[in-house]
Structure 1
Amino acid sequence: MNVELAVGGIVAIRDRVPPLTSIPLPKAVDRRWLGKRWPVRELAAPPPGSGLKPVLGDAGLPVIGHALDSMRFGVDFALRQYETYGPVSWMGSFGQRFVVLSGPEATQAALVNKDKAFSQEGWKFFIERFFHRGLMLLDFEEHHVHRRIMQEAFTRDRLAGYARQFGPVLRDGVARWPERPRLYWALKQLTLDVATRVFMATPSGAGAARINRAFVDSVRAPTSLVRIPVPGGRWAAGLAGRRTLERYFTENLPAKRESRGDDLFSVLCHATGEDGERFSDADVVNHMIFLMMAAHDTTTITSTAVAYHLAKHPEWQERAREESLALGDDLPDLAALDRLETLDLVIKESLRLTAPVPSLPRKAVKDVAVLGHHIPAGTFVTIAPNTNHYSPEHWSDPRSFDPERFAEPRREDKSHRYAWMPFGGGAHKCIGLHFGMFEVKALLHEMLRARRWSVPDGYRMRWDYVSLPVPVDGLPVRLEPSRNRANKA
């Protein structure tokens, strides 16, 4: 959720941000506020004699701060904040002051978290009501115990089993797409079909639309400006979505406890830690709701970004297609997916250009210094992956699409441990990152062998950052059969 990445306007770099008049905004919003320069203030005075510097920033609009700026401009406002105030700054958003940590060095200080100064309370501020006690919301030793149990669900052998399950779903789903889909929504339905099959061993059916709606409502609710359940509002819809998901998983849990299936739901019911720890029923329900959201939405965003860049760069689409066709007609296993090296480069570059989770919120549980700046206890903090991904100090021509930057010998992602961090880092690095990469590879592989796709000349996709990134227009594409397809499926 990147609502805390926005900043106020600064004349020296204003030309780098799309003009406000060119982007539709809610009628109630006065455009003059969004371009306004705000008074620069200190977050808090450093302790006397500490030698630390204060964190500088600005509050933005009353109460909402820079939330609207961020929802509309995403990456551009994150970069403006960094260029204006440096790697440690603060900003107003949602009635709070958020310290923004940008750039690899500041990111490392927070994610390595050696002295346990940063907790997941930042995530709780946004998503606790909707993803209660999901793995990402747990802290320190409790998080370690839950992660250790859950790791059993993401071993190489488990991943191989999941790949055998999602392969047929993906092949059948891509074959049924119409000629001119809104690709984001087609991909979202397909990744939901995968999630219901792999995570719950349930085929997609009439109930899938209801579960999908519940997930969408729960994901979009945390960035609602009205954070009370007003009828018809996003917050109320999110709470209703959470209740729907709780009922679904609770009703199905007894059968999963009794089974020994290969789906994630069954695996979590029986997962055991090194010392015999097991998840309670409530733990399983909470983790399933969180993991379904995390796997479903981030995979949809990533595959959308990859498909967009392959449409804009047909030479890369053809290069990737050659490798996919060379695998033959069999559904690929993990070893075959590992051989799709071009897709690997394109996926990594797409993740750099569009981080699926553009902000990683935390909370300082005690006074802490980051790069010589004083952050007092109780301060909300957000880490900004997009800023790192566009840093000219670590990436050549960072706004360009250049998958070769991840290939040997360039490996620009090795310029710093946190130059490229689409999966987060530290103790809370995404536990399902390998599952996600394999699913995206398998999905794009099926698209490449069955279809060619394109967008009109001059088309540029724009992301909506109200919650996780979503293409404003759903990414309309034209699909055609892959004429030189080697398979007869």
Structure 2
Amino acid sequence: MPTTAKRLQKALAAVTSHYPRPVTPLADPPAGSGLKPVLGDDGIPFFGNTFEALSDPLKSAMQRFERYGPVSWSGSLNMNIVTLVGPEAVECAWMNRDKAFSSEQGWEPMIGPFFRRGIMLMDFAEHMHHRRIMQQAFSRPRLNGYLDLMTPHIEKSLANWDVRAGFPMYTQTKELLLSLASEVFVGSTLNADENHRLEKAFEAAVRGGQAIIRADVGNFTWARGLRGRELLQQYFRSEIPARRAGSGDDLFSVLCHSVDDEGNAFSDKDVVNHMIFVMMAAHDTSTIALSMMVHHLGRNPQWQQRLRDESLALGKDTLDYDDLSALPSMEPAFKETLRINAPVGMLFRKTVADTDILGHYVPAGTLIAIHPWATMLREEWWPNPTTWDPERFSPERREDKVHRFAWAPFGGGAHKCIGLYFGGMEVKSILHQMLLRFEWSVPADYTLDLEYGTGPTPADGLPIDIRRR
């Protein structure tokens, strides 16, 4: 059943959807510029279009595209937000050729207090400086080391799963990947209670960015997120001396030792900030990707068996990094899942100078919502876009080649996800072991009910019927 908050959001969205909305320009272009105004509407007073966007951001973005085109504006909590849908529109913001878009300022109102100074919340030269150092933590040898750390943990966790009819796949995936993050990223040697406390703090920080009441008040979501951030900072700070003195293969230890080609390294404060952000980025997105991939394979038994046959033919219970290319059907199934269920539905920027997007004038100080999820579900670029069909990525079809940003779940430009290869490795390693151990299906009458946080997540834990082979 939906929560009270979710029912309220839907009720308010239903009301606001009938509120009269005259088409108005965001701002008049400078005289003689030849630019067009961005068209849109401000919704209801103060709240704007907030409730409908919270209730169903994908539907809201789709409707705005159909009414106003790829570049539109809306009101939200006394702010103006320009939404971009379509590969050409998102390319303008991601490639940022005139350096008019700030990622740091775009994300600050959303998640800044919890993930400030993470790699995604940096701009321009500073971002590239930090990215060059961090890239050392995602090199091929490092990925091999992380896979060696995660493999036994995956084996142990799957062996202990209480598989049955109605198994909550999303809930169990989230638990698995959170504990895996502690193992691989933190290299935690804490006891069970201490590790649980760290995981709860991390979860509180992630949820903080989804709060409606954005103030440090009582025990509300925002306040719990701030306390979670504080606990994580304290833990990572206290551990840095030992990690700098050691030689561990976990991400925390690697960041403590990473240097770029010019010998630049992270300060202690940098390490803390990047660890908190990377744990969020990797855990949340991988949870959505893996659980939804299992869901689609449960609805498409022929594809589940196709992937299983390839895993069986490999003749190995677990994967090494080189084995990822030996499972040819897993990659298009992974890509198609990310297309239909983009783990990050929207990304944000803020204009730091007057600019134009597809010939539309956008003034400085405007919040920009980049919508790759809606882009990947539009029939203008994807035939039968709501059908899960991995063959669309086959060499014969390659529907993603219609535009370089038609398929872009990892973002693009300078801020393209630095951990994309890690994420793919993690999901595929777990799925390989699942295919060898289990068979599963989705009940025929099951209807997927999504709610929205950092991405589209199942509201009911994503039940599947699963058994051991």
TM-score, normalised via structure 2 length: 0.95
Partner of 1:164: 148
Structure 2 distance, partners of 1:122, 1:238, is 19
Partner of 1:69: 52
Instruction: From the superposition, tell whether residues 324 and 30 of structure 1 become closer, same or farther in structure 2 (CA, over 3 Å).
Output: closer
Partner of 2:256: 269
Partner of 2:409: 422
Partner of 2:100: 117
Q: Which amino acid aligns with 1:68?
A: F
Shift of 1:389: 0.1
Cα RMSD, aligned residues only: 1.6
2:276 aligns to what SS in structure 1? Answer: helix
In structure 2, which of residues 199, 207, 212 is the aligned counterpart of residue 212 of structure 1?
A: 199
CA contact (8 A) 2:29 2:361 kept: yes
In structure 2, which of residues 103, 117, 120 is the aligned counterpart of residue 136 of structure 1?
A: 120
1:460 aligns to what SS in structure 2? Answer: coil
Q: Which amino acid aligns with 1:127?
A: I
Deviations along 1:221-275, whole A, 9 cap, x unmatched?
2232221122132111111111111112112111111111111101100111121
Structure 2 distance, partners of 1:366, 1:116, is 8
Deviations along 1:200-225, whole A, 9 cap, x unmatched?
22268223332222222222222322
CA contact (8 A) 2:14 2:52 kept: no
Q: Which amino acid aligns with 1:50?
A: S
Instruction: From the superposition, tell whether residues 287 and 87 of structure 1 become closer, same or farther in structure 2 (CA, over 3 Å).
Output: same
Aligned residues: 460
Q: Which amino acid aligns with 1:136?
A: M
In structure 2, which of residues 138, 141, 155 is the aligned counterpart of residue 154 of structure 1?
A: 138
Partner of 1:191: 177
Give matches, 1:25-424, under 5 Å: 25=8, 29=12, 31-120=14-103, 121-180=105-164, 181-202=167-188, 205-424=192-411
Q: Which amino acid aligns with 1:352?
A: R
Structure 1 distance, partners of 2:317, 2:454, is 38
1:293 aligns to what SS in structure 2? Answer: helix
2:197 aligns to what SS in structure 1? Answer: helix
2:74 aligns to what SS in structure 1? Answer: strand
Q: Which runs of 5+ in 2 are unaligned?
A: 1-5
Q: Which runs of 5+ in 1 are unaligned?
A: 1-22, 483-489
Q: Are residue 476 (structure 1) and residue 443 (structure 2) matched? A: no
1:470 aligns to what SS in structure 2? Answer: strand
Deviations along 1:123-154, whole A, 9 cap, x unmatched?
11211100010000000000000000000001
1:223 aligns to what SS in structure 2? Answer: coil
Partner of 2:3: none
CA contact (8 A) 1:72 1:466 kept: no
1:24 aligns to what SS in structure 2? Answer: helix
Q: Which amino acid aligns with 1:278?
A: A
Structure 1 distance, partners of 2:33, 2:148, is 58
CA contact (8 A) 1:196 1:203 kept: no
2:82 aligns to what SS in structure 1? Answer: strand
Shift of 1:29: 3.8
Q: Which amino acid aligns with 2:205?
A: S
Query: After the TM superposition, which parts of structure 1 deviate over 6 Å for at least 4 consecutive aligned residues?
Result: none
Q: Which amino acid aligns with 1:118?
A: F
Quote the sequence identity (%).
Answer: 48
Deviations along 1:450-476, whole A, 9 cap, x unmatched?
011222112121211134322100101
Instruction: From the superposition, tell whether residues 312 and 27 of structure 1 become closer, same or farther in structure 2 (CA, over 3 Å).
Output: closer
Deviations along 1:24-69, whole A, 9 cap, x unmatched?
3359847422443422221111101111111111112333322221
Structure 1 distance, partners of 2:158, 2:428, is 14
TM-score, normalised via structure 1 length: 0.91
Q: Which amino acid aligns with 1:169?
A: H
CA contact (8 A) 2:255 2:271 kept: yes
CA contact (8 A) 1:193 1:203 kept: no
Instruction: From the superposition, tell whether residues 303 and 94 of structure 1 become closer, same or farther in structure 2 (CA, over 3 Å).
Output: farther
Deviations along 1:366-385, whole A, 9 cap, x unmatched?
00011110000111111100
Structure 1 distance, partners of 2:11, 2:215, is 20
Q: Which amino acid aligns with 1:71?
A: L
Give matches, 1:428-467, under 5 Å: 428-467=415-454
Structure 1 distance, partners of 2:441, 2:198, is 31
Deviations along 1:279-321, whole A, 9 cap, x unmatched?
0000000000000011111110100110110111111111111
